């Protein structure tokens, strides 16, 4: 059986002037996780914020009582040097550190705050490093990246090097409010068929009109930014998203 529905509003569409309250409100309205979009202006053509802001919003949301529980901070790291920031985000209160496959395979040499080099980290090594810091690990793929790059990583018998979640982007990363790409669904279907118990997240353009397509394909972790924060009644949208996934389990 597929894992339970997890609804993760993307705070990219929240009121940044009152972010702490927006975070606690959305959890109160029935959200499971907060999806925290981190953009560095290099990996994607946009910037958001870094660990200090995560530190400031963390006290507004109770820490999850178990892995993947309510209040999980799901940090979507759209950054060129994913290894460099793991420790800072751990300190800031991140629970799930989801890096991009494309960034991991091409990350360049750079000094970390601890003075380590960040040159070329394989996804496997990076997942182990994230786990070693006491975080859950996610791996994301952009629309042009084929899904089969994930098979070798997910099939690894060494569990420390296996991600806890796969994120299939359903828009080009960088901005909220874009149009859902239904042609990404074969990737989700392939993952669900091969890994019945994997947490499979979809991100970009999810809302009332697109959730059935994503749920049919087998996604269980649903990110929605504009659909939730732009709604008159966010709790109703969260309910619709959850029911669509649960109906298909
Ligand atoms: O990672 C991203 C964009 O790069 C997303 O998390 C978006 O922020 C989702 O926003 P909507 O498409 O739901 O408005
Ligand atoms: Fe995201």
- Kindly report, residue by residue over 27-37, the tens digit of the pLDDT: 999 999 999 99
Residue 2 confidence class, pLDDT cut points 50, 70, 90? confident
> For residue 171, what is the DSSP state?
S
Single out the residue of 6, 60, 10 nearest to residue 230, CA to CA.
10
Token pair listed for 240: 């619709």
What's the mean pLDDT in 224-235? 98
pLDDT at 20: 98
pLDDT at 113: 53
Residue 226: C-alpha distances to residues 73, 183, 232 (Å): 18, 21, 11
- pLDDT tens-place string over residues 162-207: 999 999 999 999 999 999 999 999 999 999 999 999 999 999 999 9
Residue nearest to atom 7 of ligand 1 (CA): 176
Q: Tell me, in angstroms, the distance from the centre of ligand 2 to residue 76's CA.
A: 5
pLDDT at 1: 77
37 lines ligand 1 (CB under 6 A): yes
25 is catalytic: no
Q: Which of 25, 37, 74, 164 is catalytic?
A: 37
pLDDT at 109: 44
**What's the number of CA atoms in the CB half-sphere (13 Å) around residue 48?**
29
Q: Tell me, in angstroms, the distance from the centre of ligand 1 to residue 176's CA.
A: 4
Name, in order, each residue with C-beta under 8 angstroms of 170's C-beta and a sequence gap of 6 or more.
Answer: 143, 180, 181, 184, 202, 203, 204, 205, 206, 210, 214
38 lines ligand 1 (CB under 6 A): no
CA distance 242 to 104: 32
Q: Tell me, in angstroms, the distance from the centre of ligand 1 to residue 233's CA.
A: 19
> Which of 203, 226, 227, when mutated, tests ligand 1's pocket best, judged by the most ligand atoms within 8 Å of its CB?
203
pLDDT at 121: 78
Is the overall model pTM greater than 0.90, yes or no? yes
- pLDDT tens-place string over residues 125-138: 999 999 999 999 99
- pLDDT tens-place string over residues 81-132: 999 999 999 999 999 999 999 999 986 544 455 555 455 679 999 999 999 9
37 is catalytic: yes
CA distance 96 to 49: 17
């Amino acid at each position: 059986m597929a894992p339970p529905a997890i609804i993760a509003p993307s705070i990219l569409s929240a009121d940044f002037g009152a972010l702490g309250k927006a975070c606690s409100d959305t959890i109160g309205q029935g959200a499971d996780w907060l999806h925290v979009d981190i953009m560095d202006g290099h990996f994607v053509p946009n910037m958001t914020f870094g660990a200090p802001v995560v530190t400031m919003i963390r006290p507004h949301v109770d820490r999850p009582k178990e892995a993947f529980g309510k209040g999980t901070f799901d940090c979507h790291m759209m950054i060129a040097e994913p290894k460099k920031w793991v420790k800072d985000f751990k300190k800031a209160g991140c629970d799930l550190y989801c890096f991009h496959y494309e960034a991991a395979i091409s990350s360049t040499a750079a000094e970390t705050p601890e003075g380590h080099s960040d040159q070329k980290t394989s996804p496997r090594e990076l997942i182990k490093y994230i786990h070693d810091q006491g975080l859950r690990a996610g791996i994301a793929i952009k629309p042009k990246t084929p899904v089969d790059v994930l098979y070798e990583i997910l099939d690894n018998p060494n569990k420390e090097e296996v991600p806890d979640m796969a994120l299939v982007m359903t828009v080009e990363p960088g901005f909220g409010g874009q149009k859902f790409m239904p042609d990404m669904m074969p990737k989700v279907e392939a993952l669900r068929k091969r890994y019945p118990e994997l947490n499979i997240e979809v991100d970009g353009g999810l809302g009332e009109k697109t959730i059935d397509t994503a749920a049919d394909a087998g996604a269980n972790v649903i990110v929605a930014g504009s659909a939730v924060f732009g709604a008159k009644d966010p709790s109703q949208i969260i309910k619709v998203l959850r029911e669509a996934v649960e109906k298909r389990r």
